[in-house]
Amino acid sequence: MKKSYKVRSERLEDYHAIAEVNAAAFDYSYGMGESTLISVLRSRGSFDPELSLVAEADGGIAGH
């Protein structure tokens, strides 16, 4: 069965799932470097949350 994906801007409630996706994708150090980097980028004044996208599948976050 082919999965259907929806791409949309991230939301605050997605942050934990995004960290889990990054930890799975970047196996070394449990993805902590990427999670920290994403947090730093979100705190910058130039950060545009509409450009931080997630892929949603089966009601969960499948990509970032």
Structure tokens at 18: 């995004």
**In the prediction, which pLDDT does 29 show?**
60
What is the pTM for the complete model shown?
0.81
What single-letter amino acid sits at 25? A
Structure tokens at 62: 């499948």
Give the pLDDT means over successive 10-residue stretches in the chain (64 positions): 88 93 75 80 91 94 94
**In the prediction, which pLDDT does 34 show?**
84
**In the prediction, which pLDDT does 60 show?**
94
- CA–CA dist 3, 1 (Å, integer): 6
Task: Give the single-character DSSP code of 28.
Answer: G
